[in-house]
Amino acid sequence: MKTKLLLPRNFKYIGLLISVIFIGFGIANMYFQFMFELYTPFEVPGIFGPGGSRNELTDEILGGGLIIGLMMLAFSREKIEDEFVSKMRLESLLWAVYVNYILLILAFFFVYGNFFLDVIIYNMYTILLFFIGRFNFLMYRHLQTPEND
């Protein structure tokens, strides 16, 4: 089955490497105040007030890098890409969206203050993480069944 929108298989390994690197930098940023100390070359206009300032780009680099790595990992072809794998991919994506939004609804009711902003930031990545986890679990389970030997 020819799927036009999937990336080549090698992108899975590149995406895994990028994801691990940016998760490591993200943890260093959150807990040890790691910064790249790169600034925008121009003043960014203030949305909530007058004037502008130069923006430090660590958050943007880390967030963008992690999304790119996770998307490469999630949407790369498998060795055998058939209808069954496409069905598992679709079911995993549907399951990830359900779980993600159920957790978001729970956060609306049970998480308050500044911690809610952290939950929303993490929520950007959880759809991809849930999808990757569920899809790879289903692939592993399928490959472990006796009729596939």
At residue 45, the pLDDT reads: 65
How many Å apart are CA 60 and CA 121, to the nearest integer?
12
* Residue ranges in the chain modelled with pLDDT below 50: none
Nearest partner of 1 among 81, 78, 77, judged by Cα: 81
At residue 36, the pLDDT reads: 74
pTM across the whole model = 0.82
At residue 143, the pLDDT reads: 81
Domain spans, the chain: 1-77, 79-149
Q: Which distant-in-sequence residues (6+ apart) come within 8 Å of 111 by Cβ?
A: 119
Q: Are strands 44-45 and 52-53 parallel, antiparallel or unpaired?
A: antiparallel
At residue 105, the pLDDT reads: 94
